[in-house]
């Protein structure tokens, strides 16, 4: 076959594809390509070199994660439900209710993640579903999770997600009633202000519990609801936090609390890039709830612009240990909070950094030392990063300032781990970098790790939800 034939064949293939005869491989689908182009533009907006090794494949990874994470737009509840409705004699209309709660079936602790429609960050959903079967028909238990996932894998907010799951089950299963309770956790937002980076304010999650009911569960003050909630309490769900009026639902995403006004450098080109991402996911960017989403998304993303944040290195004068090692003392700065953005997936990771170093006996670290460490952590945090590199960079920067013997441990939760479905929600990653004496002195490392352990055991850990 000569090259012109080949060209002809390619053309035919393309026409065939356009007519929907063959499904294109994922990486060639127009939606994937459009998202990749948009992400490239965003990376340039972050002043990154899009050909840099670490981020060369980021546009593809982001496109894959986003499309995978919103696959619910293309899924149909009917397909999951129809084949899984089983006859079960004895479950006649009214029997369940007549016996009080005799017919109640509760499926608890279904873990999902969804994308927040206000800021495009993933949030975690723990879903509990109760229903009272009727017409001698029950739904296969695994299908509750399937149905929840169809709606979770979209751009969502908690109340709508609960309502969607509830009405879909009511519609396709036709039971006497369905009750849904969702426990949702959304990460907090980064703040660029070093001093307000205290672990209490920027760590942890915004949590919201919402419910939805249909049929015999329409009245949320009914006994049946009470029974359902009791069955959740057995599993440690704090149902008193249930938000019934929808009041705080509108406030739930942290991006809604800050103004979505962009600073001048966030240009219209970047906004259109995010709009094109929304379209490629199958959403309508002009939907009321989504209108300000591109601006909100850019607002948090631009925190990680590759800018030279001022690192206050002057004014710090650690007394370099000139004496023998035996006379120097181990100093620690523990639990310095940080925010960063995973350069592979453009999603935040955040946590704390612990620093240990040796200084001469008699040297007492002052507040200048602490604020120096904080700003170094801050500097290496607020950019596109990988945790391993950040840990090493902090150690290398500190090394000449503190006399060469330094150990750095970073502990972080990675949003990309949740959203790509790999994660058991709440897992965390620890990285360690050692220089100087810490490289070959196991007992020095052990002494430092022990200090972290003691400090961590003291504080009640609220970093991770549920
Ligand atoms: Zn949000
Ligand atoms: Zn990642």
Strand ranges in 68-204 using DSSP code E only, listed in sequence order: 85-87, 105-116, 122-132, 137-139, 155-156, 177-187
Give the pLDDT mean for 210-232: 93
Q: Given this model, what pLDDT does residue 305 score? A: 81
CA 255 – ligand 1 centroid, Å: 6
Of residues 420 and 315, the one with the higher pLDDT is 420
The token pair at 334 is 């523990």
CA 416 – ligand 2 centroid, Å: 5
Ligand nearest the Cα atom of residue 297 = 1
CA 348 – ligand 2 centroid, Å: 8
CA 84 – ligand 1 centroid, Å: 34
The token pair at 302 is 């631009």
Ligand nearest the Cα atom of residue 186 = 1
Give the pLDDT mean for 167-188: 93
Give the separation between CA 323 and CA 339, rounded to whole angstroms.
Answer: 37
Give the separation between CA 264 and CA 357, rounded to whole angstroms.
Answer: 42
Q: Given this model, what pLDDT does residue 260 score? A: 53
**What DSSP string describes 137-167?**
EEE-THHHHHHHHHHHSSEE-HHHHHHHHHH
Q: How many CA atoms lie within 13 A of 177 on its CB side?
A: 21
CA 269 – ligand 2 centroid, Å: 25
Question: To the nearest 10°, the Cα dihedral for 220, 225, 230, 231?
Answer: -130
According to CATH, the topology of domain 70-258 is: GTP Cyclohydrolase I, domain 2 (3.30.1130)
Residue position matching structure tokens 């925190």 = 303
Of residues 426 and 130, the one with the higher pLDDT is 130
Give the separation between CA 349 and CA 334, rounded to whole angstroms.
Answer: 18
For residue 177, list its beta bridge partners.
Answer: 132, 215
Place 191 in a pLDDT band, splitting at 50, 70 and 90.
low
Give the pLDDT mean for 41-65: 93
Ligand nearest the Cα atom of residue 252 = 1
CA 431 – ligand 2 centroid, Å: 15
If you average pLDDT over each of 156-160, 318-322, 347-351, 374-378, which comes out highest?
Answer: 156-160
Q: Given this model, what pLDDT does residue 56 score? A: 94
If you average pLDDT over each of 22-36, 322-336, 421-435, which comes out highest?
Answer: 22-36
If you average pLDDT over each of 244-253, 256-265, 311-320, 406-415, which comes out highest?
Answer: 406-415
Rounded to 5°, the CA angle 328-330-335 comes to 160
The residues placing their C-beta within 5 Å of ligand 1, an ion, are: 116, 118-119, 253
Report the 10 Å Cβ neighbour count for 90: 10
Q: Given this model, what pLDDT does residue 464 score? A: 38
CA 361 – ligand 1 centroid, Å: 49
Q: Given this model, what pLDDT does residue 273 score? A: 95
CA 388 – ligand 2 centroid, Å: 12
The CATH class that applies to domain 325-458 reads alpha beta
Of residues 367 and 448, the one with the higher pLDDT is 448
Mean pLDDT, the chain, rounded, equals 82
- Is the model's pLDDT at 416 over the cut of 90? no
CA 133 – ligand 1 centroid, Å: 35
CA 32 – ligand 2 centroid, Å: 19
**Lowest-confidence region among 95-104, 145-154, 306-315, 452-461:** 95-104
Residues carrying CATH 3.30.1130.10, the chain? 70-258, 325-458
CA 342 – ligand 2 centroid, Å: 5
CA 187 – ligand 1 centroid, Å: 8
Residue position matching structure tokens 């948009």 = 38
Q: How many CA atoms lie within 13 A of 118 on its CB side?
A: 19
Place 325 in a pLDDT band, splitting at 50, 70 and 90.
very low
Q: What Å distances lie between residue 289 and 118, 119, 208, 256, 296, CA to CA?
A: 7, 10, 18, 11, 12
Ligand nearest the Cα atom of residue 388 = 2
Report whether 96 contacts 102 (CB < 8 A). Answer: yes
Q: Given this model, what pLDDT does residue 293 score? A: 92
CA 278 – ligand 1 centroid, Å: 15
Three-class secondary structure of residue 278 per DSSP: helix
Q: What Å distances lie between residue 385 and 143, 313, 431, CA to CA?
A: 39, 21, 13
26-53 burial, b for 16+ CB within 10 Å, e for fewer? Answer: eeebebbbbbbbbbbbbbebbebeeeee
Q: How many CA atoms lie within 13 A of 74 on its CB side?
A: 8
Place 420 in a pLDDT band, splitting at 50, 70 and 90.
low
Report the 10 Å Cβ neighbour count for 112: 21
Q: Given this model, what pLDDT does residue 381 score? A: 92
Ligand nearest the Cα atom of residue 300 = 1
CA 456 – ligand 1 centroid, Å: 29
Q: Given this model, what pLDDT does residue 101 score? A: 44
Place 460 in a pLDDT band, splitting at 50, 70 and 90.
very low
Of residues 247 and 364, the one with the higher pLDDT is 364
Report the 10 Å Cβ neighbour count for 425: 17
Give the pLDDT mean for 43-53: 92
The residues placing their C-beta within 5 Å of ligand 2, an ion, are: 342, 344-345, 416
CA 186 – ligand 1 centroid, Å: 7
Three-class secondary structure of residue 349 per DSSP: strand
The token pair at 162 is 């609960």
Model confidence, pTM: 0.83
The token pair at 124 is 């975690």
CA 117 – ligand 1 centroid, Å: 6
pLDDT (tens digit, 9 = 90+) per residue, 268-305?
A: 899 999 999 999 999 999 999 999 999 989 988 888 88
Give the pLDDT mean for 349-371: 82
Percentage of residues of the chain with pLDDT beyond 90 = 49
**Lowest-confidence region among 3-12, 165-174, 234-243:** 3-12
Report whether 77 contacts 147 (CB < 8 A). Answer: yes
The token pair at 324 is 């023998």
For residue 352, list its beta bridge partners.
Answer: 337, 411
Ligand nearest the Cα atom of residue 385 = 2
CA 123 – ligand 1 centroid, Å: 8
Give the separation between CA 361 and CA 325, rounded to whole angstroms.
Answer: 10
Give the pLDDT mean for 262-269: 67
């Amino acid at each position: 076959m000569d090259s012109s034939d080949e060209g002809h064949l390619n053309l035919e293939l393309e026409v065939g594809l356009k007519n929907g005869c063959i499904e294109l491989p994922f990486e060639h689908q127009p939606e994937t390509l459009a998202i990749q182009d948009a992400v490239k533009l965003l990376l340039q907006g972050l002043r990154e070199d899009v050909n840099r090794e670490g981020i060369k494949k980021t546009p593809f990874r982001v496109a894959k994660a986003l499309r995978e994470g919103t696959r619910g737009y293309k899924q149909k509840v009917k397909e999951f439900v129809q084949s899984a409705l089983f006859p079960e004699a004895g479950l006649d209309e009214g029997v369940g209710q007549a016996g009080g709660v005799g017919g109640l079936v509760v499926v608890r602790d279904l873990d999902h993640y969804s994308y927040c429609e206000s800021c495009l960050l993933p949030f975690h959903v723990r879903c509990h579903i109760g229903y009272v079967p009727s017409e001698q028909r029950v739904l296969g238990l695994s299908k509750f999770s399937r149905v929840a996932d169809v709606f979770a894998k979209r751009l969502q907010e908690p109340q709508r997600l609960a309502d969607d799951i509830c009405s879909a089950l009511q519609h396709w299963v036709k039971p006497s009633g369905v009750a849904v309770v969702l426990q949702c956790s959304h990460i907090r937002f980064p703040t660029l202000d070093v001093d307000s980076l205290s672990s209490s304010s920027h760590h942890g999650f915004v949590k919201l519990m919402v419910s939805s009911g249909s049929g015999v569960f329409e009245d949320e003050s009914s006994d049946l609801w009470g029974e359902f909630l009791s069955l959740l309490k057995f599993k440690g769900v704090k149902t008193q936090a249930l938000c019934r009026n929808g009041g705080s639902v509108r406030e739930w995403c942290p991006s809604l609390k800050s103004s979505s006004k962009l600073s001048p450098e966030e240009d219209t080109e970047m906004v259109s890039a995010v709009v094109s991402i929304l379209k490629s996911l199958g959403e309508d960017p002009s939907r009321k709830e989504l209108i300000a989403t591109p601006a909100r998304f850019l607002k948090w993303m631009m925190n990680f612009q590759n800018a030279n944040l001022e690192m206050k290195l002057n004014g710090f004068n650690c007394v370099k240990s000139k004496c023998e090692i035996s006379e120097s003392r181990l100093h620690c700065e523990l639990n310095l909070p940080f925010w960063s953005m995973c350069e592979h997936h453009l999603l935040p990771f955040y946590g704390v950094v612990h620093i240990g170093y040796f200084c001469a006996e008699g040297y007492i670290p002052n507040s200048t030392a602490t604020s120096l460490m904080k700003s170094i952590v801050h500097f290496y945090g607020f950019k596109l990063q990988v945790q391993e590199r950040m840990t090493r960079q902090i150690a290398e920067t500190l090394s000449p300032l503190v006399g060469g013997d330094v150990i750095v441990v970073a502990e972080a939760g990675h949003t990309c781990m949740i959203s790509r479905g790999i994660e058991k929600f709440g897992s965390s990653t620890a990285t360690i970098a050692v220089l100087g004496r810490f490289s070959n002195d196991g007992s020095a490392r052990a002494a430092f790790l022990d200090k972290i352990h003691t400090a961590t055991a003291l504080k009640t850990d609220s970093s991770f939800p549920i």
